[in-house]
Amino acid sequence: MSHSSNPFLNLNYEPAIESLADYHDVVTAAEYPMHRLRWRNDDILPTLGLDSSQVSDDDFIEAFGHFRAVRPFLALRYHGYQFGEYNPQLGDGRGFVYGQVSGVDGEFYDFGTKGSGRTPYSRTADGRLTLKGGVREIIASEALYRMGVKTSRCLSLVETGEDLWRGDEPSPTRSAVMVRFSRSHIRFGTFERLRWIGRADLTRKLLDHVLQVYYPHIWGKENQDDIFYLELVERVATLCAQWMAAGFCHAVLNTDNMSITGESFDYGPFAFIPTYDPRFTAAYFDHAGRYSYANQPAACYWNLEKLQDPLSMVMDKDNMQSSLLKFKDFYRDAYCEIMLKRLGFSSLSEPETEDLIGATLELLSAAQAIGYNQFFVKLRQSFEPNWREDASKIFGSHDWELNDEQIILLEKWRVVYHQLLIRLPIAELENIAQQLQQSNPTIIFLRPKIEELWEKITVDDDWQPLYDAIAQLKT
Ligand code: AMP
Ligand code: MG
């Protein structure tokens, strides 16, 4: 083991997936002409038991740019359904698991790379990540994290000085390598591959691993497998509700992008919806709108259903199917809870909840001049305890351009909101202001905003606007 003073090289990496032996290939990292640290996520360091003052930029670069190894690098094997078609040619084509560690919170984490070079799964591709792709993943994960979504985060992004050619970016474009901090890189597709190669034994082994490490409260129970699948359904439904409430469109909900822990990860052509338009589709190549904003719950359901095929090699399919039927309720409960919070409330009766969310979506759907997330920012910024006195004070000074029909819907929203406020004791109005602040960050990363930040980087090499924008999430 290393005697380096680099805290990253002295973490207690555990040979978790490596010791299972059957789910990876050992690979090497690419060597790069340049190493410039563009992003270090100091927020994550305490979870690793580290203090940011102990960790230098050079430590980041040595571990996550030069890839000084502590353990073997593991490119994971997996397959997946991509836009409905089974693809047995997947696997980590530009990444590997650098290491796995227990956090001080008792959870087990992966350091997974993206853009670290070719592997046996690269096919004809270069194994690289564009700098812009890295920046976009930082933005997606930090914004989602701030909005309470269970997500992976970027620990580091090192610019690597190569010219890359991509169809979806002006090329040549700059290169980078990222390290992603996540609960796990075991995907639905990791299990799908085992079904493809007909290995019930390896499925059992992997499932036991997943239960022990990521579902320890279930491990060893009599019906552990059934309980696991039910809990996975709940976790995925909850995650999907978190995306929907955040106005987030993941864009590529293939089964190789679905984590077995129910965590959100792998951000490619994602987008935050500009307005409440259920048909909004983020990926330009998703012609049929398979992964449109409104189709996300159905896509998650489909993925969970497909996962029954490999799992049924070792557990009962009928039980899984009846668990899956609970998806809708899990989803609804989670969605309502999060939406209420975004609207300032922590709990309301069921009819009240339905009225308020219904009136909100009706308004936002009809009045596209009010952006989706902009509405919540405006609510946070405009809310005053005196809204309770008189419904006309609610959004009294908005600057939305609305037609007659939309004005009627806004009136309706005001009445619903006002009714809820007058039922609250005055002392609780402060909680509403606080809840609005907690649930609604003031910065929204719509595409033009992301492009504006990227322009600064690519034209002036000015990274400060990006850092400032991410810092604004904390307010
Ligand atoms: P993604 O769309 O990022 O989820 O990737 C889908 C599959 O393509 C995975 O097997 C990736 O490893 C692989 N892949 C994507 N981009 C590259 C690349 N530039 N080089 C090698 N493999 C890649
Ligand atoms: Mg992927």
pLDDT digit string, tens, across residues 168-206? 999 999 999 999 999 999 999 999 999 999 999 999 999
Q: Burial of 80 by CB count in 10 Å (0-12 exposed, 13-18 middle, 19+ buried)?
A: buried
pLDDT grade for 3, boundaries at 50, 70 and 90: low
- Residue 340's CB is within 10 A of a number of other CB atoms, namely 20
Residue 137 in contact with ligand 1 by CB distance below 6 A:
no
What confidence score (pLDDT) does residue 393 get? 97
Torsion of CA 354, 355, 359, 360, to 10 degrees: -50
3-state class of 124 per DSSP? coil
Smallest-distance ligand from the CA of 124: 1
Whether residue 75 has its Cβ less than 6 Å from ligand 1: no
Ligand 1 and 268: CB distance under 6 A: yes
The token duo for 202 is: 């390896």
Whole-Å CA distances, 199 to 30, 97, 229 = 32, 23, 19
Instruction: Consult the annotation and say whether 449 binds a ligand.
Output: no
User: pTM higher than 0.85 for the full model?
Assistant: yes
* 94 CA from centroid of ligand 2 (Å): 10
309 known ligand binder: no
Which residue, judged by its Cα, is nearest atom 8 of ligand 1?
93
Which mutation among 122, 162, 187 tests ligand 1's pocket best, with the greatest number of atoms within 8 A of CB? 122
- Taking CA atoms only, the protein residue closest to ligand 1 atom 23 is 93
Identify which ligand lies nearest to the alpha carbon of 173: 1
Tell me the CA–centroid distance for residue 90 and ligand 1, in Å.
Answer: 8
- The ligand 1 atom nearest the CA atom of 90: 10
Centroid of ligand 2 to alpha carbon of 436 (angstroms): 34
* Paired sense of beta strands 73-76 and 85-87, if any: unpaired
Ligand 1 mean position to 93 CA, how many Å? 5
Judge if the beta carbon of residue 99 lies within 6 A of ligand 1. no
Contact predicate 138/39, CB 8 Å? yes
Q: Residue 259 and residue 263: Cα distance in Å, rounded?
A: 6
Tokens of 157: 């992004």
pLDDT surpasses 90 at 36: yes
For every residue of 162-195, DSSP letters joined together read EEE--TTS-SSEEEEEEEEEES---BHHHHHHHH
Establish whether residue 93 lines the binding site of ligand 1, counting it when its CB lies within 6 angstroms of any ligand atom. yes
Distance of alpha carbon 60 from alpha carbon 68, whole angstroms: 10
The reply to whether 423 sits in an annotated binding site is no
Average pLDDT, whole number, for the chain?
97
Q: Is the pLDDT confidence value at 1 over 90?
A: no
Q: Rounded to whole angstroms, how far apart are CA atoms 167 and 146?
A: 31
CA distance 236 to 231: 9
Ligand nearest to the CA of 133: 1
Q: Quick one: what percent of the chain has pLDDT higher than 90? A: 98
Q: What are phi and psi of 343, to 5 degrees?
A: -95, 0
Q: What tokens were used for 404? A: 């007659």
Confidence of residue 4 (pLDDT cuts 50, 70, 90): confident
Per-residue buried b or exposed e for 289-324, using 16+ beta carbons within 10 Å of the residue's own CB: ebbbbbbbbebbbbbbebbbebbbbbbeeebbeebb
Catalytic residue status for 256 = yes
Looking at the CA of 185, name the nearest ligand. Answer: 2
Q: What is the pLDDT of residue 278?
A: 97
> Ligand 1 centroid to 173 CA: how many Å?
17
CA distance readout (Å), 54 to 8, 41, 42, 69, 174? 10, 14, 11, 20, 30
Is 180 annotated in some ligand binding site?
yes
* Residue 90 in contact with ligand 1 by CB distance below 6 A: yes
Percent of the chain with pLDDT over 70: 99
With 60 as the cut, is the pLDDT of residue 387 above it?
yes
Query: Which ranges in 170-326 belong to alpha helices (H)?
Result: 188-196, 200-214, 224-246, 296-311, 317-324
**How many A from CA of 217 to the centre of ligand 1?**
34
Nearest residue (CA) to ligand 1, atom 22: 93
Span 420-428, average pLDDT: 93
- Contact indicator for 218, 211 with CB cutoff of 8 Å: yes
pLDDT over threshold 70, residue 2: no
Please tell me the distance between residue 415's alpha carbon and the centre of ligand 2 in angstroms.
45
Q: What is the pLDDT of residues 221-251, one digit of tens each?
A: 999 999 999 999 999 999 999 999 999 999 9
Residue 91 CB less than 6 A away from ligand 1: yes
The string of pLDDT tens digits covering residues 288-325 is 999 999 999 999 999 999 999 999 999 999 999 999 99
Rounded-to-integer distance, Cα 106 and Cα 97, Å: 19
Q: What's phi and psi for 317, nearest 5 deg?
A: -75, -35
Mean pLDDT of all residues in 28-43: 98
Testing ligand 1's pocket by substitution, the residue of 78, 89, 94, 178 carrying the most ligand atoms inside 8 A of its CB is: 94
The one catalytic residue in 59, 225, 256, 355 is 256
| Ligand 1 binding pocket includes 189 (Cβ within 6 Å) | no
Closest to 249 measured CA to CA, from 350, 372, 359, 342? 372
Ligand 1 contacts CB of residue 121 (under 6 A): yes
Q: Does 127 count as an annotated binding residue? A: yes
Closest CA to 175 of 55, 32, 345: 32
The answer, yes or no, to whether any atom of ligand 1 lies below 6 A from the CB of 119, is no
Q: Encode pLDDT of 104-116 as tens digits.
A: 999 999 999 999 9
